[in-house]
Structures are given as structure tokens and as C-alpha cells.
Amino acid sequence: MHGNGVGAYQQTNIMTADPKRLVIMCYEGAISNLKIAKEKYLSCEYEAKAKALQKAQDIINELLCALDFEKGGQIARNLQSLYDYMNYRITTADTKKDLKAFDEVICMLEDLKAAWEEIFYGGKKAPAPMPAHLSDQMSNQGGAAAYGPRVRL
């Protein structure tokens, strides 16, 4: 029953968030899932690792699909290249058991998140972040389908 309450909270949080916050939430979700995947890899929990990696890639693909190349121009093309590279490195991390690839993509996502926070909020953290315990539960339950950012970058 508790899980249903978390799901309802997540859905409300997503449906009422401004588009800028949704972008930040996607970065947070991808980062969280990659950290979980690395942790699960180290503890030999391969099924959980695979699920977390898939969620991270789903989120990155959602960000990729949200790019508006007409309005975003070169920035959108650069982001497309970064997201494609991230997906490549995640696949490398998984298939070649390259832990540095996890760290590389996490670092890239953290840098992008900080850059968007600077652009959107003048360097301040994004408003009203999700409580950590709910964010962790969201990572374990939700997947990228719940994010659905239709922000055109």
C-alpha cells in the first residue's frame, strides 16, 4: 500500500512540475540509477544492475527525444552527441565491466544538471527537490516513462 502512495506522489510531482524542473528531475533520475547500477554490479546483483542501467538509458533517451533542433540549434546537436556518447559508455560499462565508464557518465550528467540549474535558476539548486527517501523509491519503482519531459531544448 505504501508503494501506491509513493507512486501517486511521484505522478503528482511530475504532472505539476514546471518543464525546467522536469529536465532537472531527469538528470537526477539518471544519476541515481547509474549509482544504483554501479552498486549492484559491485555486489554481484546483476538483475538489479540491468534494471537500473535500463532506467538510466530510458531517461537519457527521453532527454534525447525532447531536444528541439530547430530552436536549440547547435546546443541541441551538442546535447544529442553527449546523450549518444553517454548511451555508448553505459553499454561499455555493462558489456566490458568498465567501472570508470559509470563514473564518467555520472560526472557528465552531474555537470549538465549543474549547468541547467545555472541557466534555469541562476546557479541556485532547482526548487522543491524530491525528498531523498522518495527519490530512492522512485528510482527503484518508476523508470523513465513517468518522467515524460516534453521540454524542447
Place of cell 518508476: 142
Residue at 153 is within a domain: no
Number of domains in the chain: 1
Q: What is the pLDDT of residue 8?
A: 54
Q: Could you give the maximum distance between any two Cα atoms of the chain, in Å? A: 47
Residue 31 reports pLDDT greater than 50: yes
Q: What is the pLDDT of residue 144?
A: 32
Residue at 151 is within a domain: no
| Percent of the chain's residues with pLDDT above 90 | 62
User: 74 is in which domain, residue-wise?
Assistant: 2-146
Query: Residue 19's pLDDT band (boundaries 50, 70, 90)?
Result: confident
Residue 27 reports pLDDT greater than 50: yes
Place of cell 503528482: 12
For the segment 89-138, what is each residue's pLDDT rounded down to a tens digit?
999 999 998 999 999 999 999 999 999 999 888 866 655 554 444 444 43
Instruction: Report H helices in the chain.
Output: 2-16, 19-42, 46-65, 69-95, 99-121, 132-141
| Percent of the chain's residues with pLDDT above 70 | 69
Nearest to 23 by CA among 70, 81, 57, 62: 62
Residue at 105 is within a domain: yes
Check if the beta carbon of residue 145 is closer than 8 Å to that of residue 58.
yes
Residue at 82 is within a domain: yes
Residue 142 reports pLDDT greater than 50: no
Q: What is the pLDDT of residue 111?
A: 96
Residue at 152 is within a domain: no
Distance, CA of 87 to CA of 95 (rounded, Å) = 12
Residue at 58 is within a domain: yes
Across the range 35-61, mean pLDDT stands at: 97
Distance, CA of 45 to CA of 68 (rounded, Å) = 38
Question: Which CATH number belongs to the domain containing residue 107 in this structure?
Answer: 1.20.120.340
Which of helix, strand or coil describes residue 17? Answer: coil
Average confidence score pLDDT of the chain: 80
Residue at 48 is within a domain: yes
Non-local CB neighbours of 55 within 8 Å, separated by 6+ positions: 29, 33, 139, 142, 143, 144
